Amino acid sequence: MDQVDIAILGAGAAGLFCAGSALTQGCRILVAEHSRKPGEKIRISGGGRCNFTNLATSWDRFLSRNRRFAASALARYRPEDFVRLVDHAGIGWHEKTQGQLFCDGKATQITDMLMHRMRGAELRLETSVEDVHRNAEGFVIATNAGQVRARRVVVATGGKSIPKMGATGIGYAIARKFGLRIVEPRAGLVPLTFAEQDLVLCRPLAGISVEAEIRHGKAGFRDALLFTHRGLSGPAILQISNYWQPGEVLEVNLQPDLDITEALMMARKGAGRMTVATILSQWLPERLTQAIAAEQGLSEARLADQPNAVLQRLGLRINRWQLRPVGTEGYRTAEVTLGGVDTGDLDARTMQAREVPGLYFIGECVDVTGWLGGYNFQWAWASAEAAGQAL
Ligand code: FDA
């Protein structure tokens, strides 16, 4: 049976980074990955350009049952630290918006950089981890290619999102087996699905994008909202999906810079002969205003003929659109998995299981999920570094 010092399960963002952080003279590290290539999610991330971090990273941009858990690791490994690695590797990057840093070129440059950084560790591809158990000397990892003995094990197998790309959720099974609790996983950063009555408006508008503000309880995001054949998508919807639960209502402001009722009342004074739709199209895409006007029975209506009550109704429709999604597209398209290994059972400084010395959980399989925009990779790097330094 193979014997190593450290076995890292999963060669995604967190596993590859952890291998590089844990390298020390004479320490044998094995990274086991069941896909044919490492870092497959890195490759497709950020539309192929990998949004590898966010300069505004802070613990309050992450969801977790214990939101403060991530603070320690995030404070010790910061976006600037990762940028230094990227610069050192000569990878060009740019800030797109809201602190989001993307590669100028292909996302695979990041994987290449991580592979270079972990030189000295062994990467074993097409090696599927099936089980982990403990014996007197440490851990035994059962794989499709035989057993491996390890003194310490780092579980970096990610969540359940995009099973087609290798997601298995085995990290949760390993955690449960060793007595750790699991916060029920669910799809995050995922398009929401809508009932037929909402699709009637959305479908003909497919392709139109507006900057909107979406609110749910205390959470609110201002970003692009995209009408699609299946309903609504775009960054604003993905962001709010992390906070939404079935049965709950979202509030969408399609023109966050303007009180539409007030603006219509002002316009009525000077431009009352114009149609409602024409006036609205100053502030919203024309096809959208026509659709809203039609929906409200105001297609040809002149502004001057509309009483305050109608303008108020239109204002509410645009500034406070109430939407009740029927579900999400699920793990098939979700960028992340919410929930995971309960942080109450992990040491926030080292990611080690409190009751199982030598067993660590990092990255997406832990109950820490970031907003859209590079936060999830920053969590992968930071949690991997925390474990890597402690190993
Ligand atoms: P990750 O899923 O990357 O890695 C886990 C690895 O374990 C995989 O390689 C998997 O094959 C392997 N594995 C699973 N089961 C196994 C088993 N039984 N045996 C062996 N190996 C096993 N985030 C961000 O910050 N910026 C971005 O631009 C994007 N973009 C983006 C786009 C898309 C389409 C998706 C789906 C996701 C993103 N993300 C993102 C999220 C980001 O990809 C995610 O948070 C990290 O990849 C998580 O890193 P991990 O290493 O924890 O899991």
- Determine which residue's CA is closest to atom 12 belonging to ligand 1: 10
**Which residues are within 8 A (CB) of 248 and not within 5 positions of it... i.e. 6 or more apart?**
216, 324
Residue 339: CB within 6 Å of ligand 1?
no
CA distance 153 to 3: 12
Residue 169: CB within 6 Å of ligand 1?
no
Ligand 1: nearest atom to the Cα of 39: 9
**Lowest mean pLDDT, pick from 32-36, 81-85, 96-100, 268-272:** 268-272
Q: How far is the CA of 139 from the centre of ligand 1 (A)?
A: 24
**Lowest mean pLDDT, pick from 195-199, 262-266, 340-344:** 195-199
**Contact present, 310 and 289 (Cβ < 8 Å):** no
Residue 11: CB within 6 Å of ligand 1?
yes
Q: How far is the CA of 378 from the centre of ligand 1 (A)?
A: 12
Model pLDDT, residue 198: 85
Model pLDDT, residue 190: 95
Q: How far is the CA of 18 from the centre of ligand 1 (A)?
A: 14
Residue 374: CB within 6 Å of ligand 1?
yes
In this structure, the number of other CB atoms found within 10 A of the CB of residue 362 comes to 35
Using CB atoms within 10 A of its CB, is residue 274 exposed (0-12), middle (13-18) or buried (19+)?
middle
Angle between helices 375-390 and 13-22 (to 10 degrees): 30
Residue 385: CB within 6 Å of ligand 1?
no
- Cα maximum dimension of the chain: 86
Q: Tell me, what amino acid is at 309?
A: A
Residue 227: CB within 6 Å of ligand 1?
no
Residue 41: CB within 6 Å of ligand 1?
yes
339 φ, ψ (degrees, to nearest 5): 75, -170
Q: How far is the CA of 5 from the centre of ligand 1 (A)?
A: 24
Residues 227-239 have pLDDT tens digits of 988 888 999 999 9
Sign, CA torsion 74/77/83/89: negative
Q: How far is the CA of 89 from the centre of ligand 1 (A)?
A: 22
* Predicted confidence (pLDDT) at residue 26 exceeds the cutoff of 90: no
Taking residues 357-382, report their average pLDDT. Answer: 98
Residue 364: CB within 6 Å of ligand 1?
yes
Say which residue the tokens 């109430």 belong to: 322
Indicate the Cα dihedral angle 319, 324, 328, 329, nearest 10°.
-80
**Contact present, 341 and 366 (Cβ < 8 Å):** yes
Q: How far is the CA of 43 from the centre of ligand 1 (A)?
A: 10
CA distance 353 to 307: 65
Model pLDDT, residue 166: 83
Choose which residue among 160, 335, 351 to substitute to test ligand 1 binding: the one with the highest number of ligand atoms within 8 A of its C-beta: 335
Write down the mean pLDDT value for the chain: 96
**Contact present, 191 and 161 (Cβ < 8 Å):** no
Confidence band (pLDDT; 50, 70, 90) for 133? Answer: very high
In this structure, the number of other CB atoms found within 10 A of the CB of residue 120 comes to 14
Choose which residue among 16, 18, 41 to substitute to test ligand 1 binding: the one with the highest number of ligand atoms within 8 A of its C-beta: 41
Catalogue the E-assigned strands of 229-377: 231-233, 250-253, 321-323, 327-328, 336-341, 359-361, 369-370
CA distance 107 to 112: 9
Model pLDDT, residue 230: 84
Beta strand pairing call for 2-9 and 146-155 = parallel
* Predicted confidence (pLDDT) at residue 261 exceeds the cutoff of 90: yes
Choose which residue among 74, 96, 157 to substitute to test ligand 1 binding: the one with the highest number of ligand atoms within 8 A of its C-beta: 157
Residue 44: CB within 6 Å of ligand 1?
yes
Indicate the Cα dihedral angle 255, 261, 265, 267, nearest 10°.
10
* Predicted confidence (pLDDT) at residue 201 exceeds the cutoff of 90: no
Taking residues 245-253, report their average pLDDT. Answer: 95
Sign, CA torsion 277/282/286/288: negative
**Contact present, 356 and 178 (Cβ < 8 Å):** yes
Residue 180: CB within 6 Å of ligand 1?
no
Q: How far is the CA of 375 from the centre of ligand 1 (A)?
A: 13
Model pLDDT, residue 98: 92
DSSP state of 106: -
Using CB atoms within 10 A of its CB, is residue 173 exposed (0-12), middle (13-18) or buried (19+)?
middle
CA distance 261 to 259: 6
In this structure, the number of other CB atoms found within 10 A of the CB of residue 42 comes to 23
Q: Tell me, what amino acid is at 301?
A: A
**Contact present, 34 and 166 (Cβ < 8 Å):** yes
Model pLDDT, residue 165: 86
Confidence band (pLDDT; 50, 70, 90) for 35? Answer: very high
* Predicted confidence (pLDDT) at residue 1 exceeds the cutoff of 90: no
